[in-house]
Amino acid sequence: MVMSTTSRGTERSVSSGGIFLVVALGIVYIVWGSTYLAIRIMVEDMPPLLSAGARFMLAGAVLAAILAARGGLARLAVTRAELLSCAALAMLLPVLGQGSVTVAENGGAPSGLTALLVAVVPLWVLLYRTLSGQRPARLTVYGVLLGFAGLVLLLVSNGVDADFPFWTMILVVLATMSWAFGSWYQPRLKLPRDPFVLTVYEMLIGGAVLMVAGFGGGETIDLGAYSSRSWMAWVYLVVFGSLIAFSAYVWLLHSAPVSLVATYAYVNPVVAVALGWLVLSEDVTTPIVVGGIVVVLAVAVVAGAERPRRTPRPNPEPTPEATTCR
């Protein structure tokens, strides 16, 4: 929400991609909100790192096969610099971002609370933007301060006498910082021009790293020991969470202003908290409700303050759009 989606820092117009934009946003809004519940169910039986790694590797392989079938193997070709950039994003997004969330939920973090903590991602992005030398508007600063106050409330209110370890919440916060940094840093990398090719390599590399980490950490695979409930959650995460929603997110980062893309952060928590309460009977306490409202409101304030304003042009003649292709 606070970075551009082109290599020169200009935000792309989304007027021509109307239907695709609506569909992609809807997918990210709803599906990603439900993935927190799916992860919580998956790790009831499955090891967190191996299941997350296998999820991304299978989704990446399927997407690669689809792209190759439609455009030939040449469509998957990337330069060494592009591959290294994909690897960097794989570490920041699937590994440190999604992987850490999976480990945290395996440790007992409730899916609804996890989603509320993840909602601060746009605020971290704005902080990175500020540290890079940009000066946000005063209203934006107030929104960030409000959001981090909500984050502190969520952490403090759930850090005493909680039914789950406090370290799981800290791990989720670190995951959000990594995810936000990857989202902010993405336009500054030399990446494949095709966002779906980028998604393929992110998921394949990220999945491989997660699986290596899982085996290295002592996790093992026992396919017969996993319940049908966990298998269904894993399949849902492969198809919808990784293949469809992650691809939609990457496409949005390439095709829409981040100020619009980041609005998913205050829709996902509502979906996640509702599903966690309905399906897993997770507690929805007053501090969680208040802290969640504060965080979501703060993100909405920042999104509104950061949305580009149109200004009248003194010269009615059109000028070339200052964008470059990567």
> Are 315 and 150 contacting, i.e. CB atoms less than 8 angstroms apart?
no
Question: What does the pLDDT read at residue 6?
Answer: 38
Please report, for the chain, the start and end positions of each structural domain, with discontinuous segments joined by +: 16-306
Q: Of 291, 289, 280, whose CA–CA distance to 39 is shortest?
A: 280
Radius of gyration of the chain (CA): 20
CB neighbour class for 57 (10 Å; exposed up to 12, middle 13-18, buried from 19): buried
* pLDDT class of 314 with cuts at 50, 70, 90: very low
- Does the pTM surpass 0.75? The reply is yes
Helix then strand count (H, E) for the chain reads 14, 0
**Segment among 40-49, 211-220, 268-277 with least mean pLDDT:** 268-277
Letter for the amino acid at 264? Y
The token duo for 256 is: 């829409």
pLDDT tens, 162-192? 678 889 999 999 999 999 999 888 888 999 9
DSSP secondary structure of 98-153: IIHHHHHHHTT--HHHHHHHHTTHHHHHHHHHHHTT----HHHHHHHHHHHHHHHH
What are the tens digits of pLDDT across the range 236-292? Answer: 999 998 888 877 877 787 777 766 776 777 778 888 888 888 888 888 788 788 888
315 Cβ contact list (under 8 Å, min separation 6): none
Distance between CA atoms of residues 274 and 252, nearest Å: 26
Q: Name the residue with higher pLDDT: 306 or 15.
A: 306
Res 288: pLDDT: 81
From residue 177, give the alpha-carbon distance in Å to each of 42, 80, 205, 267, 273: 24, 27, 20, 19, 21
